[in-house]
Each structure stands twice: as structure tokens, then as C-alpha cells.
Structure 1
Amino acid sequence: MFTGAHLERMEQITRDLCADFECEPAEFTGEASNVHLLVNFPPKVALSRHYYRANELWSGSYFAGSVDGAPISVLRQYIEQQNRPV
């Protein structure tokens, strides 16, 4: 279960990782059981990654997807409406 302190630390880690990948975190929040973030990736960055130990393309612990044509305002609104713990 995530607390507000956990989410604050994860947000800082996300910002640091985004800087490494030359992308921009647009929104970040979370709930007690999951995290929601909106990141602007440059076209040269692939969203998926391969888990060699698990022999799976996706881990059951996260989902990453791309959106094309959806207004950023709608995505931000969805993320902002999540119930972030204190």
C-alpha cells in the first residue's frame, strides 16, 4: 500500500528517470494500490521493454500505452481525479 510519502518519492524517481530518457513528466499521482502518470516521450524512445528473466514482454506490475489524438486535457483530468493518499 502506497502512502503520500511513497508517492512523493516515486514522483521524484520518475522525474529523474525522465531526465535520463529526455522525456517530460506531464502529470503524476497515485492511489494506495497504483500510480498514474502521463509522460511525453520523444519518438526515439520505445515504450515497451523486454523482461529476459521472466521471458515476457510485459510485467504484470505495470502498463504503458501510447495515445494519439486524445486531448492532453482529458488525460490530465483523469489522472488528477484519482484519490491520492495523504
Structure 2
Amino acid sequence: MAPVKLIANIKTVTSRLIRQEFAGHLEKFYGDKKVFWTGSYFIASCGGVTIEQLKSYVQDHAYPVGQFPSR
């Protein structure tokens, strides 16, 4: 299975499960929005990146405006 398909499947299933279990709580934050996850993802092999590169990616990843407090 191609990585992009795997990630899409994971996002689909986890979105459905999270929305079912936490529907009331999520409605406060997402309202009627149909999209739970962003379209982006990061994937690398064990030897493909350094821990510093991974940390940098996670720390610099942009969040939707107003969704998370500033760092």
C-alpha cells in the first residue's frame, strides 16, 4: 500500500472514531466543519531524518488560525 493511501485511511478511520466518541466536545471547536485533519502529513523511514529534523518539523508545523495558542 502506498504511504499516501495508508495515511488517508488512518485519517479517515480516526476522524470517524474521534467524532463518534467526542461529538459534543468537538462541536464547540469545529461546529459544522466536515474536515477534521489537515491535508498534510509527514512520513520518513527510521534512517531518513535526524531527531532534530523531526522536532523542527513538528514545532514549525502551522496550525489553523485561532485553533491553538501562540508559542
TM-score over 0.5 for the pair: no
TM-score by length of 1: 0.31
The structure with more radius of gyration: 2
Instruction: Answer 1 or 2: which has greater strand percent.
Output: 1
